[in-house]
Chains A and B, each alone.
Chain A
Amino acid sequence: MTSESGSNTRGNALIVLGCPEVPIQQALALHVSYSLMKQGFTTHITGNPAVLNLLRVSDPEKRYLPGMNVLEKCIEEIVEKKRDCNLCIVFAHSDAGITYAATMRHLLPASRLVVIIFGKDPEPLALLIDFPCEKIVEKAVHNPMQLRKKINEVFRWAA
Chain B
Amino acid sequence: MGCIENLQYEMILPLGASFKECREYVEKNFSEFWYVDPGYKIFDEYIIGLPPIALGIDGAKIIFPYTKPCHGTYLLAIEDADEAARIRKTARKKK
Residue A69 is within 8 A (CB to CB) of chain B in the complex: no
Q: How far is the CA of A21 from the CA of B68 in the complex (A)?
A: 13
Contact A96 B69 (CB under 8 A): yes
Contact partners of A19 in chain B: CB under 8 A: 69-70
- A-B pairs with CB below 8 Å: how many? 66
Residue B34 is within 8 A (CB to CB) of chain A in the complex: no
Q: Interface stretch among A36-44, A99-107, A112-120, A139-147?
A: A99-107
Residue B72 is within 8 A (CB to CB) of chain A in the complex: yes
B interface size (C-beta, 8 A): 21
Chain B proximity mask over A64-94: 1 for CB below 8 Å, otherwise 0: 0000000110011011000000000000001
Q: How far is the CA of A24 from the CA of B56 in the complex (A)?
A: 38
Q: Interface stretch among B6-14, B38-46, B75-83?
A: B38-46
Contact partners of A75 in chain B: CB under 8 A: 39, 46, 48
Q: Which secondary structure characterizes the binding site on chain A?
A: helix
Contact partners of A94 in chain B: CB under 8 A: 69, 72
Q: How far is the CA of A154 from the CA of B74 in the complex (A)?
A: 34
Partner of A100, one of B20, B37, B46, B67: B67
Contact B39 A102 (CB under 8 A): no
Contact partners of A103 in chain B: CB under 8 A: 38-39, 48-49
Contact A97 B69 (CB under 8 A): yes
Residue B71 is within 8 A (CB to CB) of chain A in the complex: yes
Contact partners of B41 in chain A: CB under 8 A: 79
Which of A48, A72, A78, A106 is the most central at the interface, judged by chain B CB atoms within 10 Å of its CB? A106
Contact B69 A47 (CB under 8 A): yes
Residue A95 is within 8 A (CB to CB) of chain B in the complex: yes
Besides A48-B68, A99-B67, 13 more A-B contacts (Cβ < 8 Å) are: A17-B69, A51-B69, A72-B46, A75-B48, A95-B18, A96-B68, A96-B70, A96-B71, A96-B72, A99-B50, A102-B38, A103-B39, A107-B38
A-B contact pairs, 14 of them (CB 8 A): A48-B70, A51-B69, A72-B2, A75-B39, A76-B46, A94-B72, A96-B70, A99-B50, A100-B48, A100-B67, A102-B38, A102-B50, A106-B38, A107-B39
Closest 6 CB pairs of A and B: A19-B70, A103-B48, A103-B38, A102-B50, A79-B39, A19-B69
